[in-house]
């Protein structure tokens, strides 16, 4: 067996021993004596008798070991022209002080804190401060609109919301405080207070329950780490579901820390004193795992970047960050490299920088198309590693384990299952699919440490959404196949969740917004292939009878209204810019809209007309619109 196969086999054949050995990679207040509690499937719990503090593992233990002067975090912000560096000792002290601020606001073990922040160091400090107190953070991406934020506030029930006066998207300053105020107004469960970081680009008007970050820190005293059970939640992170209501993915403390500490040297080949640059956002799971927690658990240096791959100011910024910080591994989404390729197809910016420190490029968050893989590989002349995981899993399901051994790279595949992940492909009857035959990608239970143990306050939905389709398996929601060598090929979602530039968004949620317009009788939103973003949403609306659609500029005005409604209620991240008015939507005889058929036609695939279609002429009428003929 190869080194990878030996390690993988060990994780399957001796699960208890494998993960207890991995648990030695972190410090425990009470060391676990067993790895897995499987007494209540599918609600598995890892390291049930262990106690620890994740923030202490990320910061204090490195300082205590004499590495306080090592660089922990570099803040690089081309949009503000600023840069700050924190050593492990400095970051620990900042986190301890802000934990004191939260403690002064009444936050304690088990309380929730919503973090609605741009990509600034204070976002990571707020997250780690929550972990230090044993509180549960729930980070909401700064691009989400007030209504989406309100839904998350209502579900999490935070004692405090931590936010900033503004964020910066490219060259635009977006004021957060009015969005936050509106969200709290819309929510039923009001936080006791909000802590606001004032930024010079826009100053927020403060209210009676608002606390100024800088003033509160100035009068705070440091808080010590609070030991918690390994099974206690570290955070709740909301992900798009197939209904309008988001799903609150719960991440436990002990299993997550063990999995991330294992993944850094073994998958990403990054160890103490080495630097990883993860170009994502703390609002997404990639930001939680590989900007904040995993690098710090490993004693590495993490780069927190406030900017874009292009346009802030140019397509050479990633290379500048690599040069200035001696970056060993870059991790981002394929969209970022498609944007760089579009702006700088010959890679001329690369020649302006010394990127000799860079050994790996990791890409995830959406399917890596073979052309982008080829371009990046030829440009950088290093391994370009596709890997696949989800908000629910917390760390990679399938990857190429650079720290163990580099396996053959097959374009279109995120390589092979990582330890603990028993990945299989099942047909509709639940039988294993033959190699090369597409089906539902599943993982045999129990899931390894780091994967979600349930949904926030919704065990029932956890079971119905993920664990009930095939007994004994986690349904990933992705379809694809395994080849004869065990390589995983992920072909796309099997539900109505689409992937726009690495962001998972529900087309159902967009449909709810469109359907609320008084002129719209029914609608459909589908995700269609896009060379830059992987997928983009397209909307199709049928008007109510009696609407004067012949009026001059009516359709243009309606499209503008509908696009703005989605932007207001979901956020600019939805990227819905294309809405067509059509006479009818294709349906089955039972009334189900044929979204899969529509998507195939829009993507240029010769989709067979389903035998269940109610009126085939509707599809004929719609085909030119879908294909833009």
pLDDT of res. 551 = 76
pLDDT of res. 342 = 83
Q: What is the residue whose two structure tokens read 């073979």?
A: 370
Cβ within 8 Å of residue 268, ≥6 positions away: 276, 290, 294, 329, 331, 360, 362, 402, 403
Cβ within 8 Å of residue 265, ≥6 positions away: 271, 298, 403
Cβ within 8 Å of residue 493, ≥6 positions away: 477, 478, 479, 499
Q: What is the residue whose two structure tokens read 């972990």?
A: 131
pLDDT of res. 612 = 62
DSSP class of 433: P
Residue ranges in the chain modelled with pLDDT below 50: none
Instruction: Give the relative orientation of helices 146-156 and 554-569 as an angle to the nearest 10 degrees.
Output: 30
Q: What is the residue whose two structure tokens read 């079971």?
A: 463
Q: Which two tokens stand for residue 275?
A: 């630097």
Beta strand 51-52 with 112-116 is unpaired
Q: What is the residue whose two structure tokens read 């929550």?
A: 130
Cα separations (Å) of 84 from 4, 165, 305? 38, 19, 11
Judge residue 597's burial from the number of C-beta atoms within 10 Å of its C-beta, 0-12 exposed, 13-18 middle, 19 or more buried. Answer: buried
pLDDT of res. 589 = 57
**How many other CB atoms sit within 10 Å of the CB of residue 245?**
16
pLDDT of res. 495 = 67
Q: Name 161's bridge partners.
A: 114, 194
Q: Is the Cβ–Cβ distance between 102 and 257 less than 8 Å?
A: no
Query: 196: part of which helix (H) or strand (E)?
Result: strand 193-197
Ordered alpha helix ranges (H), 112-247: 121-133, 146-156, 177-186, 213-218
Q: How far apart are the first and last CA of the chain?
A: 54
Judge residue 487's burial from the number of C-beta atoms within 10 Å of its C-beta, 0-12 exposed, 13-18 middle, 19 or more buried. Answer: buried
Beta strand 166-169 with 172-175 is antiparallel
pLDDT of res. 609 = 76
* Nearest residue to 233 via CA among 249, 246, 250: 250
How confident is the model over 542-580, as pLDDT tens digits?
A: 888 778 777 778 888 999 999 999 988 888 777 788 999
Judge residue 511's burial from the number of C-beta atoms within 10 Å of its C-beta, 0-12 exposed, 13-18 middle, 19 or more buried. Answer: buried
d(CA 344, CA 103): 49
pLDDT of res. 226 = 98
d(CA 27, CA 623): 60
Q: Rg of the chain's alpha carbons, rounded to an integer?
A: 24
Q: Name 571's bridge partners.
A: 144
Q: Which two tokens stand for residue 94?
A: 């900042």
pLDDT of res. 576 = 87
CA 48 to chain centre: 27
pLDDT of res. 616 = 82
How confident is the model over 337-385, as pLDDT tens digits?
A: 888 988 888 899 999 999 999 999 999 987 787 888 999 999 999 999 9
pTM: 0.85
pLDDT of res. 591 = 57
């Amino acid at each position: 067996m190869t080194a990878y196969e030996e390690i993988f086999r060990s994780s399957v054949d001796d699960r208890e021993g494998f993960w207890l050995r991995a648990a030695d990679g972190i410090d425990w207040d009470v060391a676990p004596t067993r790895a897995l509690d499987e007494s209540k499937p599918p609600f598995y719990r890892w390291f049930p008798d262990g106690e620890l503090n994740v923030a202490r593992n990320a910061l204090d233990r490195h300082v205590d070991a004499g590495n306080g002067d090592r660089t922990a975090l570099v803040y690089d912000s081309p949009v503000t022209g600023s840069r700050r560096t924190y050593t492990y000792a400095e970051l620990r002290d900042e986190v301890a002080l802000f934990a004191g601020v939260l403690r002064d606001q009444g936050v304690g073990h088990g309380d929730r804190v919503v973090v609605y922040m741009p990509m600034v160091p204070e976002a990571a400090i707020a997250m780690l401060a929550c972990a230090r107190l044993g509180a549960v953070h729930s980070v909401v991406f700064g691009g989400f609109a007030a209504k989406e934020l309100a839904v998350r506030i209502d579900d999490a029930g935070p004692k405090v919301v931590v936010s900033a006066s503004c964020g910066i998207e490219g060259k635009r300053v977006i004021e957060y405080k009015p969005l936050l105020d509106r969200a709290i107004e819309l929510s039923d469960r009001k936080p006791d207070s909000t802590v606001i970081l004032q930024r010079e680009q826009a100053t927020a008007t403060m209210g009676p329950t608002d606390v100024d970050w800088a003033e509160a820190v100035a009068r705070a005293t440091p808080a010590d780490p609070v030991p918690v059970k390994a099974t206690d939640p570290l955070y709740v992170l909301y992900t798009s579901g197939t209904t309008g209501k988001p799903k609150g993915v719960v991440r436990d403390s002990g299993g997550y820390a063990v999995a991330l500490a294992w993944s850094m040297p073994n998958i990403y080949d990054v160890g103490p004193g080495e630097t990883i640059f993860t170009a994502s956002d703390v609002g997404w799971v990639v930001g939680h795992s590989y900007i904040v927690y995993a690098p710090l658990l490993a004693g590495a240096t993490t780069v927190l970047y406030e900017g874009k791959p292009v346009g802030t100011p140019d397509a050479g910024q990633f290379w500048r960050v690599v040069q200035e910080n001696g970056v060993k591994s870059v991790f981002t989404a394929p969209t970022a490299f498609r944007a760089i390729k579009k702006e700088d197809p010959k890679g001329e910016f690369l020649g302006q920088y010394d990127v000799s420190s860079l050994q790996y490029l990791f890409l995830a968050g959406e399917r890596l198309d073979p052309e982008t893989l080829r371009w990046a590989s030829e440009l950088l002349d290093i391994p370009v590693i596709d890997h696949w995981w989800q908000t629910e899993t917390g760390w990679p399901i399938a990857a190429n384990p650079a720290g163990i051994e580099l396996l053959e790279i097959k374009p279109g595949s995120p390589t092979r299952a990582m330890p603990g992940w028993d990945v299989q492909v099942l047909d509709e009857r639940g039988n294993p699919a033959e190699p090369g035959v597409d089906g539902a990608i599943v993982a045999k239970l129990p899931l390894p440490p780091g994967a979600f143990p349930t949904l926030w306050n919704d065990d029932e939905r956890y079971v119905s959404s993920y664990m009930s389709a095939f007994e004994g398996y986690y349904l990933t929601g992705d379809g694809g196949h395994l080849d004869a060598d065990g390589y995983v090929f992920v072909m796309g979602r099997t539900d109505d969740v689409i992937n726009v530039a690495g962001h998972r968004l529900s087309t159902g949620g967009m449909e709810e917004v469109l359907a609320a317009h008084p002129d719209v009788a029914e609608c459909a939103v589908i995700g269609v292939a896009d060379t830059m973003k992987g997928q983009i949403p397209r909307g199709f609306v049928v008007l109510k009878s009696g609407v004067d659609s012949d009026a001059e500029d009516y359709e243009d005005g309606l499209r503008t209204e509908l696009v703005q409604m989605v932007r207001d209620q979901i956020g600019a991240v939805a990227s819905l810019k294309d809405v067509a008015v059509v006479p009818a939507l294709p349906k089955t005889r039972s009334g189900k809209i044929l979204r899969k058929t529509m998507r195939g036609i829009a993507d240029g695939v010769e989709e067979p007309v389903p035998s269940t279609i109610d009126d085939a002429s509707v599809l004929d009428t719609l085909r030119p619109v879908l294909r833009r003929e």
